[in-house]
Structure 1
Amino acid sequence: TDVGGKPCLVGIRTRGVPLAQRLQKKIGEIQGEEPALGLLDINLYRDDVSQISDHP
Structure 2
Amino acid sequence: MGTQEAVTAGEYKITWKPVTTSRLDTAALKKALPDVAAAFTKETTVRRFSVA
Q: TM-score, normalised by structure 1?
A: 0.20
Task: Looking at secondary structure, tell me which structure has more helix per residue.
Answer: 1
Greater relative contact order structure (CA < 8 Å, 6+ sep): 1
